[in-house]
Amino acid sequence: MLAFFKNEWKSGLKSLLIWSLCVGGMGLLCLVLYKSMEESMADMADSFASMGAFSEAFGMSTLSIATLKGYFATEIGTIHALGSSFFAASIGTVILSKEEDGHTAEFTFVFPVSRVRIIAMKFAAVIANLICFTAICALFYGIGFIALGEKSIGSEFVTFMLFQFMMNLEIASICFVISAISKKNRMGIGISVAMLFYVYDLMARVVPDLKDYIFISPFSYSNATSIYSNAETDTVAVILGACIIIMMTCVAGMIYSKRDLAS
C-alpha cells in the first residue's frame, strides 16, 4: 500500500514545490516590503478603516494595516488563504480522475489491493501535500518576521496556520468527491469551488442576512483578521468543517469504489 502513497507523493512533488514557493515567496516579499511602506501605511490606515463594506469584508475596520499584525492579517492572510485553497482544490480534484483521464486505471487497479485502500493512500498523499505546503509557507513567513526584527511570531500565527490547514483539507475533501465522480480533469471546477467559498465569506461579512450563515464557508473560521483581532472562534463552523472532511472523504470512497472505470 505504501507504494501507492510514494507514487502519488513523487508525482505531486513538483506541483507542491511550485505552489508553496509561489504562495510562500509572495507572502515573504510582501512582509519584507512592510518596512519601506510603514510610513505611508500609517497615512492610509484611517482611510481604509472607513471604507464601509470594503473595510468590513477585509477586516480593515478591526485591524490597522499600519501595524505589522494588521498588515499580515489583511494582506498576507488573504494571499495565503486564496493561494492555499486553490492548491488544495487542484490536488483534490485530480487525484482520482487522473487515473481515467490518463488511461492508467487499468494498470493501477489490477494490483491485489482493494480499491478502498488505494483511495485511502491517495487521500493520505493529499493530506501530506497540505501539511508540507503549510509548513513551507509558515517557514517563509517566519523568515519574514525575523527579517523585520520580530522575536516571536505569536500564538495567533500558529492558530491561523492550523486553521488554514483545516480549511484546505475541507476544500480538498469536497474536491475529492468531484474527482471520484469525474472521468476527466476538472481542476477548473475545483478551483471555482474554492473561489465561491471565498466570495461567499466576503459577502457574509457585509450582508446582514448572510451573517448568521457565514459558518457555511470554511474561510469563516480560518479568517486571519478574525484570528488576529482575537474574535471568538466560530465553534459551529469548525465542527461543520470537521464533519464535512469526514463525510466527503467517505462519500468519495464509496462512489469511486463502486464505479466502472474507463480504460
d(CA 220, CA 241): 10
Q: What is the pLDDT of residue 119?
A: 83
pLDDT at 107 over 90: no
Single-letter code of the amino acid located at 97: S
SS (H, E, C) 116-149: HHHHHHHHHHHHHHHHHHHHHHHHHHHHHHHHCC
d(CA 152, CA 129): 27
Q: For residue 150, name the pLDDT band (cuts at 50, 70, 90).
A: confident
Cell 481515467 found at: 100
- DSSP characters over 68-114: HHHHIIIIIHHHHHHHHHHHHHHHHHHTTHHHHHTT-HHHHTTSSS-
Closest Cα partner for 102 from 23, 189, 171, 7?
7
Q: CA-based angle 109:112:117, to the nearest 5?
A: 70
Q: What is the pLDDT of residue 55?
A: 55
Which residues, 6 or more positions from 11, have their beta carbon under 8 angstroms from its beta carbon?
A: none
pLDDT top residue among 85 and 263:
85
Closest Cα partner for 140 from 17, 248, 7, 228?
17
| Angle between helix 115-147 and 155-181 (nearest 10) | 150
Q: What is the pLDDT of residue 181?
A: 85
Residue 100: how many CB atoms within 10 A of its CB?
19
Q: What is the pLDDT of residue 117?
A: 81
5-55: per-residue pLDDT in tens? 787 788 888 999 999 999 999 999 988 888 777 666 666 655 555 555 555
d(CA 147, CA 262): 52
- Cell triple for 20: 508553496
